[in-house]
Amino acid sequence: MKSAKVIVQVIRQRLLALPTRRRKKMLSRQNKADILAACSIAIALPAYYKIKFLLDGQMTVEQMLVPAAVYEVVFAFLLASLLLLLYRVGSRQIDRHGRPALRRLLPLFLVVAAASVAIAFTRFFFNVVVDWGSPASFEFDVAVLAVLLPLIVSGVADRIFLEGEARAAEQATLIARFETLKARLSPHFLFNSLNTLVDIVEEDPKLAVRFIEELANIYRYILEHRDEQLVPLSAEIGAIRSLLYLLESRQPGAFEFDFSLAPGAETHQIVPLALQTVVENALKHNAYSAASPLKLKVFTDDDQLIVENTLNRRENVDSMESGLENLRTRVEHVCGKTVQVTETKTTYSVRVPLISAA
């Protein structure tokens, strides 16, 4: 038992010592930001002085392009890399320090140390590596660069990678929302459809076969287009016709459907499951029966698909209104356009943008 406890403790310590995936990603992004900053300074610093001397008449274009200029690029890159390494190591030490008073003073010491290291490296490079000498004004500029380097990295390089990560996170969120929508539609809809199928399979076998075919069409559509951001409107219409057929089979006379699409409109593209989302919203918030059917009209207007339904609101509907909100977010992300909702005393309409296939 004692040896088992030791093994467990060792495994636990090893697991705790392993960096988390999040930490790995942060470190990777930080390294990329440092490399980008070092390369940018390697180009920008020599270019700044050459352009300055050229404008002041102290240098010609031919003098700017001499092979010796490579040393200036190497110097700027090594200087930036050295300073970035110093700041990264210093920042880790500051984070690990336990005394709050010293933690407030250590950043100041780190900046002073960076400026001193920058001046010392400049003198070493231009007096030992290359015998060019280092003017006091240039050493001052290098010290200023050392002080401002953290701001350059955080304000430019880090921001690029953070924005990229934010876009990736946003896309992952949208995909998750889409998957949630499909999961929510599938089990609930499948359960109701199977109940209906049980009722009709013995009474009307031909109707049951048609019912199964239409149900298969819906799930085939979901499987075929589950990884796509846009689908042909014709495919979306085909899936919604199958859905409406199943609804009519479950409650005969409770629905009235009207499709009025402009010629050529079905060649446009639309966000997948857009119509299903709008129809599901109409079913959820409105009461319908054979005596008072729910009228659904689907038509196009320029580059928009309009789904309009009559209003007969249910009472006490428990809804977070997430369906249309998720659809609006997906459309804005994919198309850069908005879903428009219009409500009158008698109708409720949703306008979904269409994208030209060309």
Rounded to whole angstroms, the Cα distance separating 140 from 20 reads: 41
Phi, psi of 264 (to 5 degrees): 85, -5
Whether 191 maps to a domain, the answer reads no
Looking at the structure, do residues 62 and 142 belong to the same domain, yes or no?
A: yes
Name the nearest CA neighbour of 185 among 110, 276, 300, 271: 276
> Per-residue pLDDT for 10 more than 50?
no
Strand partners, 131: none
Q: What is the pLDDT of residue 7?
A: 37
Looking at the structure, do residues 221 and 162 belong to the same domain, yes or no?
A: no
Contacts of 64 (CB under 8 A, 6+ apart): 50, 54
Looking at the structure, do residues 131 and 232 belong to the same domain, yes or no?
A: no
Instruction: For residues 121-136, give the mean pLDDT.
Output: 88
Q: What is the pLDDT of residue 198?
A: 76
248: domain CATH number is 3.30.565.10
> Per-residue pLDDT for 131 more than 60?
yes
Q: What is the pLDDT of residue 152?
A: 67
Higher pLDDT: 234 or 199? It is: 234
Whether 5 maps to a domain, the answer reads no
Rounded to whole angstroms, the Cα distance separating 114 from 143 reads: 8
Model confidence, pTM: 0.51
Confidence grade of residue 306 (pLDDT, cut at 50, 70, 90): very high
- Domain final residue, candidates 149, 167, 185: 167
Instruction: For residues 244-258, give the mean pLDDT.
Output: 87
> Per-residue pLDDT for 304 more than 80?
yes
Tokens of 213: 């075919």
Whether 194 maps to a domain, the answer reads no
Indicate the average pLDDT of the chain. Answer: 77
Looking at the structure, do residues 230 and 159 belong to the same domain, yes or no?
A: no
Task: Please state at what angle helix 274-285 crosses helix 233-250, rounded to 10 degrees.
Answer: 30
pLDDT tens-digit readout, 143-188? 888 888 777 666 554 555 555 555 655 665 556 455 555 544 556 6
Burial class (CB in 10 A: 0-12, 13-18, 19+), 282: buried
Tokens of 325: 């909100």
Inter-residue contact 331 to 317 (CB < 8 Å): no
Whether 101 maps to a domain, the answer reads yes
Looking at the structure, do residues 256 and 136 belong to the same domain, yes or no?
A: no
Confidence grade of residue 351 (pLDDT, cut at 50, 70, 90): very high
Higher pLDDT: 123 or 52? It is: 123
Of all residues in the chain, what percent carry a pLDDT higher than 90?
10
In terms of residue numbers, what domain contains 80?
A: 20-167
Looking at the structure, do residues 78 and 158 belong to the same domain, yes or no?
A: yes
Higher pLDDT: 56 or 214? It is: 214
Q: Where are the alpha helices (DSSP H) in the chain?
A: 2-17, 21-55, 61-64, 69-96, 100-124, 136-152, 158-200, 205-224, 233-250, 274-285, 322-335
Are β-strands 255-260 and 294-301 bridged in parallel, bridged antiparallel, or unpaired? parallel
Looking at the structure, do residues 31 and 143 belong to the same domain, yes or no?
A: yes
Whether 230 maps to a domain, the answer reads yes
Q: State the total domains in the chain.
A: 2
Rounded to whole angstroms, the Cα distance separating 259 from 110 reads: 70
pLDDT tens-digit readout, 56-100? 777 787 777 777 788 888 998 998 888 888 888 887 777 666 566
Whether 196 maps to a domain, the answer reads no
For 262-267, the CB contacts below 8 A with 24+ separation are: 262/299, 262/300, 265/233, 265/300, 265/305, 265/354, 266/232, 266/233, 266/234, 266/237, 267/232, 267/233, 267/234, 267/357
Residue with tokens 């609006």: 328
Rounded to whole angstroms, the Cα distance separating 152 from 352 reads: 43
Looking at the structure, do residues 235 and 152 belong to the same domain, yes or no?
A: no
Distances (CA, A) of 90 to 26, 41, 83, 85, 110: 17, 21, 10, 8, 7
Looking at the structure, do residues 25 and 163 belong to the same domain, yes or no?
A: yes
Of 15-19, 105-109, 157-161, the least confident: 15-19
Whether 174 maps to a domain, the answer reads no
Whether 173 maps to a domain, the answer reads no
Looking at the structure, do residues 136 and 246 belong to the same domain, yes or no?
A: no
Looking at the structure, do residues 132 and 235 belong to the same domain, yes or no?
A: no
Confidence grade of residue 350 (pLDDT, cut at 50, 70, 90): very high
Looking at the structure, do residues 163 and 220 belong to the same domain, yes or no?
A: no
